[in-house]
Structure 1
Amino acid sequence: MSDYVPISAEVSAEEIAKWTQPCRRQTDGMGLRVGNKAEFTLVAPLKPGGGAIFRERVKKAQVEAAYWEGRLGTVHDLRVALINDDTQILFAASYSDEFKPYVVDVIKFATPWIDYMFTDVAEGYPGLQAPGALDYIARHQVEASVWYASNEQATVRDIARGQKALTSLNDLLDTIQ
C-alpha cells in the first residue's frame, strides 16, 4: 500500500493497512465475504398493496425473528425493510457459512417465517419450497459494493460460546467478591 493515498490526510497509508480486510466474492454464489462472514442482500419489487400487508405482519415477524433465525445458527444480523416509497422490499443478512449451505438452511429451517413476510408482499415470490425459489433469489439478489465485518473470523457459535464464558467468569468474580 506504499502508493495508497487515504481519504483523509490525517491518516497514514500504514495505519489504513493495519485495518484493511481482504474482501472476496463468495465461492459458490453472489455476495461478499470477509473472513468467515458473508453478506446476502436481496431487493425485490412489491405487489400492489404489498406494503400494507407487510406492515400488518411486521410485529409478529419481529416477535418470532430470534426463533427462526436462531434455528439456522449462522446468522449474525438480518434486516427486512420496505424501501423506495414502498416499491421494494430489502432482505439483508450477514452470516457465517458459504452461500449454498446458508440458502439450504434458510429453506430448511425458516421457510414459514420467510414465507409469512414475503407471500402476497413481494411481486412474483413463489414461496421458499417452490421449484422457482432459487431462481427468484438469483433474480433479485444484489452484491454489496462495500462491506465490512467486525471480528471476521468469529462465527455465531463462537460468539455465543464467548458470551457464555464471560457470564460464567463474571458470576465467579461476583462470588469471590
Structure 2
Amino acid sequence: MTVTDELTAHAQPVTDQPDGPGRRIGKKGELTLIAPVRPGGAEIFRQRLAHTQAQAGYWEARVGTVDNFRIFLFDNDTRMLITLVYDGDFVPYLADIGQAQPWLDEIFLDVVDGYQGYQDPGTAPLVISLAHSAEIYFHATPDVTVRDVKKMQRLSDAFAEVLDAAS
C-alpha cells in the first residue's frame, strides 16, 4: 500500500443533501448558516444566553435528531454563525425542529435580521438563503444516529448494572 492509499483508505463519501442545503455523510447532514444580526440583536442574544443554554438539552432531546449545535457572534456582533449536525434529510429535520419553536424563537427573534418566528412562512426560505455547504466535512460515526447512541448508552448502563450486581 502506498502512502497515498494509506492516507485515503478511510475516505468518507460526502454528498450534497438530497432535499436542501448542506452536505451529507451516511446518516448525518450538516448545516452552516451565516446570519445578519439586527442592530441591538447581539445584546438581546447575550441577555437570553444563560436561559437558552440551560434549555438546550431539553429542547434538543425533544427534537431527537440533533447531533450537535453551535452558535457564535462574529464581525463585531454584526453576524451570527450557526452550525449543526443532524440525522437524516434537510426537509424532515426542518419539520423536526418545529418541536423546539419556543426555544428557537427565544434564540433568534429580534436577533437575526429577517427572522420573524419559526411559524412564519418565510422561515424556511430564510434558512435556505443563509445556508452554506461545508467545503470539508467529516463525522467519526456517520451511520450512528442520535437515537442509536442513546440506545447504546441505555444498553451499556444496564450491562454495567448487571456486572456490578454480579460482583
TM-score normalised by the chain length of structure 1: 0.90
Aligned equivalents of 1:110, 1:94: Cα separation in 2: 16
- Aligned position for 2:59: 68
- Aligned position for 2:76: 85
Alignment counterpart, residue 147 of structure 2, candidates 129, 151, 157: 157
Aligned equivalents of 2:75, 2:109: Cα separation in 1: 19
Displacement of 1:45 in angstroms is: 0.5
Q: Which ranges of 4 or more aligned residues in structure 1 deviate by more than 2 Å?
A: none
The structure, 1 or 2, with the larger RCO (C-alpha pairs under 8 Å, 6+ apart) is 2
Q: Which runs of 5+ in 2 are unaligned?
A: none
TM-score normalised by the chain length of structure 2: 0.95
AA in 2 matched with 1:92: T
Deviations 1:14-69 (A, max 9, x none): 22232211110000011000111110111100011111110000100001001111
- Tell me how large the CA RMSD over aligned residues is: 1.4
Displacement of 1:151 in angstroms is: 1.0
- Aligned position for 2:132: 142
Helix, strand or coil for the counterpart of 1:70?
helix
* 1:1-177 alignment, distance < 5 Å: 12-107=3-98, 109-177=99-167
Helix, strand or coil for the counterpart of 1:19?
coil
Question: How many pairs does the alignment contain?
Answer: 167
Aligned equivalents of 1:14, 1:142: Cα separation in 2: 30
Q: Which runs of 5+ in 1 are unaligned?
A: 3-11
Identity %: 38
